[in-house]
Structure 1
Amino acid sequence: MKPLQFNDLLISFTSEFLPLWNDKGSSAHEAVGLWRPSMTSDALNPFYALGDIAVGHYRNINHSKIVAVVSDANKVDGTALRAPVDYQLVWHDEGTGARTNFSIWRPLAPEGYVTMGLVCGVGYDKPSRHAVRCVREDLVVTAQVGELIWNDKGSGSANDFSAWSVIPPGASPGEAYLAPGTFLGSDSYAKPSIETYALRLALTAQLSDLPPPPALTGPESPAVDDTTSTLQVCELPWFCVKDPELTAVEQSQSSPTYRLERTDRHLIAGFGHNTEATSQPFMWTATKGELGGHAKALAANTSVDLSKEWPVYPHALELNFSAHLDRDFTHTQRSAKGWSHASPLEIITYVPPNKAVAAYLVHSEYCLVRQDGSQVSGTVSYTNGDHIYMSESSDATPLPDEAPPEVEAPQAEPDLEVTGHDLIDNALTP
């Protein structure tokens, strides 16, 4: 699997783990199992864990859970990662009656770096400095404490302890934030106010300019499909997509990235041929916004939302994350209102004498595609009403049985007018 990259940080994933400890033998009210991500495969050399894994049960998590691991894109003198300078003891199980001795430690990061999870010790000894890596501050965002995983109530330990998950903040447009699957710890049972972090990824597509609308060569109405299409692509990491046909582990292996493809073309919204000797107004009514309601189906089936941040159902996905597509890619840089419904758009313009004019809107079709080319969910159709593109016939033709009009000083023509039923959302330009 090709790793994801953000600046000089590489992010990959593992579903293999080494068992470290569980609380069997203690009197704790709830179960807990502690595991360490394994990087023994050649593909994960040299990748590092960001912390150990805590789960609220005793079951084997190998090949059923998946977490992020990291490496430096510059293998020689990279600065994305650093080993911790030391560890601070958070909790040990002395007095619990558990079958084996156990301790939990907080890595202490070098200046300019942050820690993203706790690390387990062998017995009561400090972990190795090579067990985990700290991440440079500009490669992460501040996150939040999530749900309770486990606490030691009833265990008999002299010290209180609770373990918590990590929840990323809402993503900015064009970015995704990922909690790697590590856990936080506190010396009390209340939700802690601990500084914690999530990894950053970019979701910005490289947009290409749409070719100009077809040129009019005469007074005939252009063909409806006589336009050139342009493909825009935004790559999504697998964990952003809820694939109805694959498990999370299968996604990471068979489709580590998904392509959200946007195919743009000019859609004719009106055509007029002025056969009079003076400029004449023409008015057409087009439809803007989404057609068919497939955007809601896409969000429900895959979690991918074209008009706002996702996931729609946070607990339906394997890893805690947030994502937000670039607004230029989704046509929501001005308003997302058009995604919820289609609405009429009125276009008014003045056509010069003896000329033909065609008005075009940009029509986009979105589809989500796996790495093997198969499509996930249905195609979403959206007509952007923010801009009108005009094509005018190049040469004026004299009216039948009339001499060409005398050349006069040109007069200013009224600008193109575009109106709609939701005028506030139609701050449009010619």
Structure 2
Amino acid sequence: MDHILLGDGYASGMIDLGGLLVCQISSFNKVWATHEGGPGNLGASFFEPSPLPHGFYMLGCYSQPNNIPFYGWALAAKPTKDNDDDPSSPLLRQPVDFTLIWSSEFLNIKKDGNGYVWLPTASDGYKAIGLVVTSSPEKPSLDKIRCVRSSLTDECEADLWIWGPGTASDANGFNVFSVRPSNRGTSAMGVFAGTFIAAQQNGGLSTVACLKNAAISNPQVSMPNLTQIEALLEAYSPFIYFHPDEVYLPSVNVCVLTVYFNGGFLQPSKMAENVEGISKRR
């Protein structure tokens, strides 16, 4: 579509959330899987996004239940050059440590070896966006993931149940949930990053956050402008053809079609003369 005049931020493969560039990654390396528990008692799989574009960092692993086809994605992020010139307070920062919140070592179910779920410990003024899953009891490298400056994050909450050792969510056991922004709506700025949250065996949720669109001056910077929308419609909108011997014309269908295309009703006396002229309409 070289004939389309691209606008700022549109169709670039990245979205600027106010100094933080994010891109959607839908290719993964499988880290660990279990084949029991969760929806349908079919287990769940855990992935890390890979490969990442140059300069982008993982924000957290992705997980989904095994009773549905694979379809997932996760966001990766990097700072823009104009918004990361303060080395004392970068937009992204390595965690200072990892805390093991759960392992499958003592879980007697079908599984691909053992899995370990880690919560990044963020520096003051930063928040973790997701968790890290490994197949080894050794702590992940601190360079594995990045935490995000708190000003670019928003509160999130547990959404859909992904997995737990049983066939139903146990409020007193370990559970994995997808997340969603707590504040939602047309004016809300929360951004789902494709990560997950874990409820620990004491019932508490791991403390992770969603991203926030801090591009307050122009939150629609990555949306298409009018010229681009018109070009997209010209390239992809369907044509509708009417056969001249269509048995249902003229009829009430003519009025319905005319309302759809022209935005108003035809008077009955005008229906016949308009039917003759219909051959191809968008």
Q: TM-score range by the shorter chain?
A: 0.5 to 0.7
Q: 1:70 aligns with which of 59, 65, 77?
A: 77
Tell me the matched-pair count.
Answer: 217
Partner residue in 2 for 1:50: 59
**1:227-286 CA distances to partner (integer Å, 9 max, x unpaired)?**
xxxxxxx8375xxxxxxxxxxxxxxxxxxx434x5xxxxxxxxxxxxxxxxxxxxxxxxx
**Which amino acid counterpart does residue 224 of structure 2 have in structure 1?**
Y
Measured after TM superposition, the shift of residue 82 of structure 1 is: 0.5
2:18 match: 7
Please provide the CA RMSD for this pair: 3.5
Going from structure 1 to structure 2, the CA distance change for 1:371 and 1:197 (only over 3 Å counts) comes to farther
Question: Is 2:91 the partner of 1:80?
Answer: yes
Q: Could you list the runs of 5+ residues in structure 2 that have no partner in the other structure?
A: 1-11, 239-259, 264-282
Give 2:196's aligned residue: 183
After TM superposition, give the deviation of residue 99 of structure 1 in Å.
3.3
Measured in 1, the distance between the counterparts of 2:174 and 2:237 equals 43
Please tell me whether the aligned partners of residues 93 and 103 of structure 1 are also in contact (alpha carbons under 8 angstroms): yes
Separation in structure 1 between the aligned mates of residue 237 and residue 208 of structure 2, nearest angstrom: 34
Q: In proportion to residue count, which structure has more strand? A: 1
Deviation, structure 1 residue 372 = 3.8
Q: Distance in 1 between matches of 2:18 and 2:221?
A: 16
SS across alignment from 2:58: coil
1:32 and 2:48 are equivalent in the alignment: no
C-alpha deviation, 1:68, in angstroms: 1.3
Q: Distance in 2 between matches of 1:370 and 1:51?
A: 37
Q: Structure 1 residues 27 and 196, CA, compared in 2 at 3 Å: closer, same or farther?
A: closer
1:145 matches 2:158: yes
Q: Which residue of 1 aligns with 2:229?
A: 369
**Of the two, which has the highest radius of gyration?**
1
Q: How does 1:126-165 map to 2 (within 5 A)?
A: 126-153=139-166, 160-165=173-178
Contact kept in structure 2, 1:49 and 1:69, CA below 8 Å: yes
- Give the Cα separation in 1 of the matches to 2:125 and 2:206: 18
Structure 1 position 119, deviation (Å): 0.4
Deviation at 1:2, TM superposition (A): 3.9
Distance between the aligned counterparts of 1:79 and 1:166, measured in 2?
Answer: 25
Counting aligned pairs with the same residue, the percent is 22
The structure with the largest helix share of the pair is: 2
1:89 equivalent in alignment to 2:55:
no
- The Cα shift of 1:58 comes to 6.9
| Larger RCO, structures 1/2 (Cα 8 Å, 6+ apart) | 2
Q: How does 1:176-215 map to 2 (within 5 A)?
A: 176-188=189-201, 192-201=204-213
Structure 1 residue 59: deviation in Å?
Answer: 6.8
Shift in Å, 1:39: 2.9
